[in-house]
Chains A and B, each alone.
Chain A
Amino acid sequence: MYTIELLDVVTTAGILYIVALGLLIVYGVLKIINLAHGAFLVLGSYAAVIATWLDWSPWSALVIALVGGAAVGAVAEWRVLRDLYVRPLDTILATWGLNIIIVQSITLYFGREIQFAESGVTQAVSVGGVTYSLYRLILLLIAAVLGVLVWLLMRRTQIGIVAQAVIMNEELAQALGINTRLVRFVTFCLGAGLASLAGALITPLVSVHPNLGVPWLINAFMLVMVAGVSLGNLALAALILGGAQVLVSSYGNPVLGSLTIIILAVIILRFRTITT
């Protein structure tokens, strides 16, 4: 009976999780909010456009986005951010500047008009008696896979452990001989790559143009503020906030729905006692 609402809630949460993941990782390790996150989403969307131009499979866009986003992230960390970590407020300016540079470069090359990108999946399937978008279901699956992969990376690999150490106590990590500079570099590349990947993943749902990143950046920012640096919290936050948005939009209206994430985020932050 409530199948549609249930599907809407979980798939919306999945999409939000995918979009916020890169931002959370950068925030956790580097302690900065990467305001260029939206620009990396845009980069990923244009990777899908390029794949269409080259007549490659739409799925190849995911690889292009991950690699391309990580590469741009590498240059940005190396040339812009590296010396700014000691001045956290300046990183806000620097990453927002980076956002403008990336978005304007894309605008210069592609123009402001919307671009066409081929979608791999456009059909709908029958789930529990209702017809539902297959692609949204696939995104839910991808969100789960990405969550598990990142969790494994953080808990089961050397780089992940090192990153955890840096998150918990950076000074101590340095004292133990960890090259925090390299950790930051790798983390930022990973965050940028994941953001671009997310951009390529949402492309079949949205139109591709240079400013598509902004609304997603705002939602991702809210989620990360609420979730802190925990992957589990992020999933929970995506489910609660995204779910509330869908339900308020469905039973109320979308204008109220779009306020829901922000209002809930503020309430949660007010009563959350553990600061991470």
Chain B
Amino acid sequence: MNAAVATRGLAVAGLEGGYGSSPVLHEVSFDIGPGEVFGVLGKNGMGKTTLLKTIVGFLPPRRGQVELLGENVTGWPPYQVTRLGVSYIPQEKSIFQDLSVEENLRLALREPSRFEERLIAVAGWFPFLTARRQQRAGTLSGGEQKMLLMARALLTRPRLVLIDEITEGLQPAVITRLQDILAEECRTHGTTIVLIEQNVGFALRKVYGIQLLLLMLAISILAVAPVRSQQKKPVVIAIPVGLSGVNSVVAPAVVQSAQLAADELNAKGGILGQPVRVVPLDDESGPAGAVKAFNTGIRQDKADVIITMETSAARNAGTPIAERAKVPFIYTSFYEGRACGEYLFVNAWVPEQVVPPLIKFMTDEKKVKRWFAVGSDYAFGRGMIEAAKKTIKDMGGTILGEEYQPLQQSDWTAIISKIRAANPDGIIYSTSGGGPNIDFLKQLKAAGLTMPIGSLSIDELTAEAGGNAAEGVYYTGDYFTGIDNPENKSFLEAMKKKFGAELKTPNALSEQEYDGLHAYAMAVERAGSTNADAIIKVLPTVVFKGPRGSVQMNKQHHAPLPIYLAQVQADGKTRVLKNFGLIDPGDQCPKLK
């Protein structure tokens, strides 16, 4: 219709450009007329995306010229280029996940009054769009998201469409649909199309009857990234962990556990012959960071699985992202319990596993009948004390007092005086991790109180840093460095050998990461692929015999665990006293099998 204006399509002459000081494009030239389809083919790292970004104006060209629909647009900002009638579909992060389908579409259109009319036009190809226009775009399936992208690109009736690898990860039926739509658009409206593809078939088939220009990228574009196509695609294990924030004390040990497990797997030829790659990401110990880290891991690093220790808040933020993307998530931190998801597995303890054995031991062996319970005033501290009170009642004991201390407060004077006044047989406490344990125990010792103490929050490193402050304290857990079995000995030796002076002492929050990687590897071998749905079926059947003993995540995605009793010695070191055997996590996720 407006053929007179659209005499030219896209002409690029002597284009040079790239990122910062590293040149990617060298003397790229081509000329495409209206209604032509131009395929840019090539491997990863050849500069295809850089070419599109330079044309649209996201990257400044160093030299050369871009002429678009008769205008010299060299150096124009992207929004001006787009308004000439150009639709650009980038490869990544191209949908507003948290906006509705309709909002995504409206964002593309400059004239809102024409939205309904244009929607009807594109909905002919994508009927689901009108039916689900209020749905959040992030909840669409992968194929539907690609169709939404295509609809958004065509909604403006563009004269030039630039598409960056739209077929990746799509089912053949969807690909065929998209091919037909593009071919139709080309034929009826004379739209010019530039396609970037690794999938040669898509570019070739879709242009039947239309002239195809094939650019020999090997000649005109200098590849700066080394071509790694010779190597097999690695199995990518993302580890969003608190490299900064409250978890930064323990996070390095978690990453080291994963690195050792990956080394061991790679030494045996990888998983299904594919190398294992570990990608640590910083979740900043909180939910906001976790969202970023999960998205980066899944979308950018293409993680096959997420295996990590996190705060509960970070886990709660990350779980829905993994669920939506259908990426298995093995959580390796002990926690308050009852986190459930189809793709979520837990290989560490929940309160039901460590609290009752400790209370029973103190009741039976230390003759503690009259208890005093002390906690830090936050969800985990209170939850642990609740679990302890339940067991104490079941065992016929009485609770003389129950006190909670605000998290920031390090002076325990008032509570210690109350304990003294109550004069219990024993104390059970659960502060927040690390320092508060030592604050409380130091002040208790200074006050001259010497009854048996059970701790639900101390760990080996904290006890040792406290010197003799924690002397005599009993606690339970699924991992201690002092566990006496061959697997633990060789684990500790291998860690020492691999990391030497850099070694972060393995602990009750880091060892499980090692188990997690091995269990996942066994599941992939058994399933014969990294396919997520196959993995979640197989994972509960896998038994990994590691430093803790044999662990299988077969109870509603949780694991019955060997639980040990330990006591802090006068030098702060922890001694394992006994093994209670496998303790069941109970009903954590009754909706899961």
How would residues 1 to 28 of chain A score, 1 for a CB under 8 Å from any chain B CB and 0 otherwise?
Answer: 0001100100110010000000000000
Query: B443's closest neighbor in chain A, by CB?
Result: A205
A255 contact set on B, CB distance < 8 A: 377, 404-406
Would you give the shortest CB distance from A263 to chain B, in whole angstroms?
14
Would you give the shortest CB distance from B450 to chain A, in whole angstroms?
10
Is the C-beta of A214 less than 8 angstroms from some C-beta in chain B? yes
Contact status B414-A114, CB under 8 Å: no
Is the C-beta of A204 less than 8 angstroms from some C-beta in chain B? yes
Contact status A253-B410, CB under 8 Å: no
For chain B, residues 543 to 593, give those with C-beta under 8 angstroms from any C-beta of chain A: 572
A254 contact set on B, CB distance < 8 A: 377, 403-406, 409, 414-415
B408 contact set on A, CB distance < 8 A: 214-215, 218, 258
Is the C-beta of B487 less than 8 angstroms from some C-beta in chain A? no
How would residues 353 to 383 of chain B score, 1 for a CB under 8 Å from any chain A CB and 0 otherwise?
Answer: 0000000000000000000000001000000
Is the C-beta of B439 less than 8 angstroms from some C-beta in chain A? yes
Contact status B406-A116, CB under 8 Å: no
Residue tally, chain B, CB below 8 Å to A: 38
How would residues 123 to 139 of chain A score, 1 for a CB under 8 Å from any chain B CB and 0 otherwise?
Answer: 11000001111111000
Contact status A113-B414, CB under 8 Å: no
For chain B, residues 409 to 430, give those with C-beta under 8 angstroms from any C-beta of chain A: 409-411, 413-415, 417-418, 420-421
How would residues 173 to 216 of chain A score, 1 for a CB under 8 Å from any chain B CB and 0 otherwise?
Answer: 00000000000000000000000000000001111110010111
For chain A, residues 1 to 59, give those with C-beta under 8 angstroms from any C-beta of chain B: 4-5, 8, 11-12, 15
Contact status A112-B248, CB under 8 Å: yes
Among B68-76, B341-349, B462-470, the one that faces the other chain is B462-470
B528 contact set on A, CB distance < 8 A: none
Would you give the shortest CB distance from B58 to chain A, in whole angstroms?
36
Q: With A136-B446, A249-B414, A254-B415 known to touch, is A207 a contact of B406 (CB < 8 Å)?
A: no
Contact status B446-A135, CB under 8 Å: yes
Query: B402's closest neighbor in chain A, by CB?
Result: A253
How far is B411's CA from A133's CA once the two chains are assembled, in angstroms? 13
Contact status B404-A204, CB under 8 Å: no
How would residues 437 to 470 of chain B score, 1 for a CB under 8 Å from any chain A CB and 0 otherwise?
Answer: 1110011011110000000000001101111100
Q: With A114-B465, A122-B446, A246-B413 known to touch, is A253 a contact of B435 (CB < 8 Å)?
A: no
How far is B506's CA from A87's CA once the two chains are assembled, in angstroms? 50
A123, A130, A258, most chain B CB atoms within 10 A: A258
Contact status A4-B442, CB under 8 Å: no
B414 contact set on A, CB distance < 8 A: 8, 245-246, 249-250, 254, 257
Is the C-beta of B18 less than 8 angstroms from some C-beta in chain A? no
Contact status B411-A116, CB under 8 Å: no
B377 contact set on A, CB distance < 8 A: 254-255
Contact status B417-A204, CB under 8 Å: no
Would you give the shortest CB distance from A137 to chain B, in whole angstroms?
10
Contact pick for A206, options B439, B462, B468, CB 8 Å = B439
Contact status A133-B446, CB under 8 Å: yes
B420 contact set on A, CB distance < 8 A: 4, 130-131
B468 contact set on A, CB distance < 8 A: 122
Contact pick for B421, options A4, A113, A122, A124, CB 8 Å = A4
For chain A, residues 208 to 266, give those with C-beta under 8 angstroms from any C-beta of chain B: 208-209, 212, 214-216, 218, 245-246, 249-250, 253-255, 257-258
Query: B461's closest neighbor in chain A, by CB?
Result: A113
Contact status A207-B439, CB under 8 Å: yes
Would you give the shortest CB distance from A64 to chain B, in whole angstroms?
19
B434 contact set on A, CB distance < 8 A: 113-114, 207, 209
Contact pick for A116, options B248, B409, B437, B466, CB 8 Å = B466
A205 contact set on B, CB distance < 8 A: 410-411, 439, 442-443, 446
A124 contact set on B, CB distance < 8 A: 446-448
Contact status B409-A258, CB under 8 Å: yes
How far is B411's CA from A216's CA once the two chains are assembled, in angstroms? 10
Would you give the shortest CB distance from A243 to chain B, in whole angstroms?
11
How far is B408's CA from A218's CA once the two chains are assembled, in angstroms? 10
Q: With A207-B466, A258-B408 known to touch, is A132 a contact of B447 (CB < 8 Å)?
A: yes
Contact status B417-A250, CB under 8 Å: yes
Is the C-beta of A115 less than 8 angstroms from some C-beta in chain B? yes
How far is B409's CA from A216's CA once the two chains are assembled, in angstroms? 9
Is the C-beta of B436 less than 8 angstroms from some C-beta in chain A? yes
Q: With A207-B466, A254-B409 known to touch, is A249 a contact of B249 (CB < 8 Å)?
A: no
Contact status B466-A134, CB under 8 Å: no
Query: B434's closest neighbor in chain A, by CB?
Result: A114
How would residues 166 to 190 of chain B score, 1 for a CB under 8 Å from any chain A CB and 0 otherwise?
Answer: 0000000000000000000000000
How far is B410's CA from A138's CA once the two chains are assembled, in angstroms? 19
Query: A209's closest neighbor in chain B, by CB?
Result: B435
A112, A134, A207, A250, most chain B CB atoms within 10 A: A207
Query: B421's closest neighbor in chain A, by CB?
Result: A4
How far is B434's CA from A214's CA once the two chains are assembled, in angstroms? 16
For chain B, residues 249 to 283, give those with C-beta under 8 angstroms from any C-beta of chain A: 249
For chain B, residues 179 to 237, give those with C-beta under 8 angstroms from any C-beta of chain A: none
How far is B436's CA from A211's CA once the two chains are assembled, in angstroms? 12
Contact pick for B467, options A4, A112, A116, CB 8 Å = A116
Is the C-beta of A111 less than 8 angstroms from some C-beta in chain B? yes
Would you give the shortest CB distance from A210 to chain B, in whole angstroms?
10
Is the C-beta of A77 less than 8 angstroms from some C-beta in chain B? no
B448 contact set on A, CB distance < 8 A: 123-124, 131-133
Contact pick for A113, options B249, B405, B406, B409, CB 8 Å = B249
How far is B174's CA from A254's CA once the two chains are assembled, in angstroms? 62
B466 contact set on A, CB distance < 8 A: 114, 116, 207
Q: With A11-B413, A113-B465, A114-B465 known to touch, is A204 a contact of B446 (CB < 8 Å)?
A: yes
Contact status B413-A8, CB under 8 Å: yes
Contact pick for B447, options A118, A133, A209, CB 8 Å = A133
Query: A218's closest neighbor in chain B, by CB?
Result: B408
For chain B, residues 484 to 515, give those with C-beta under 8 angstroms from any C-beta of chain A: none
Contact status A12-B413, CB under 8 Å: yes
Contact status A133-B417, CB under 8 Å: no
Contact status B442-A253, CB under 8 Å: no
How far is B447's CA from A135's CA once the two chains are assembled, in angstroms? 9
Contact pick for B462, options A114, A216, A249, CB 8 Å = A114
How far is B421's CA from A113's CA once the two chains are assembled, in angstroms? 33
Pairs A–B under 8 Å by Cβ, sample size 7: A207-B437, A207-B439, A207-B442, A215-B408, A250-B414, A254-B405, A255-B405
Q: Which positions in B face A, CB cutoff 8 Å?
A: 248-249, 377, 403-406, 408-411, 413-415, 417-418, 420-421, 434-439, 442-443, 445-448, 461-462, 464-468, 572
Extra 16 A-B pairs, beta carbons < 8 Å, given A12-B413, A112-B248, A255-B405: A11-B413, A114-B438, A114-B465, A116-B467, A119-B442, A122-B446, A131-B447, A205-B442, A205-B443, A206-B411, A207-B434, A207-B435, A215-B410, A249-B414, A254-B409, A254-B414
Task: List the 9 closest A-B pairs by CB distance, nearest first.
Answer: A124-B448, A249-B414, A207-B438, A207-B435, A133-B446, A131-B448, A258-B406, A215-B408, A114-B465
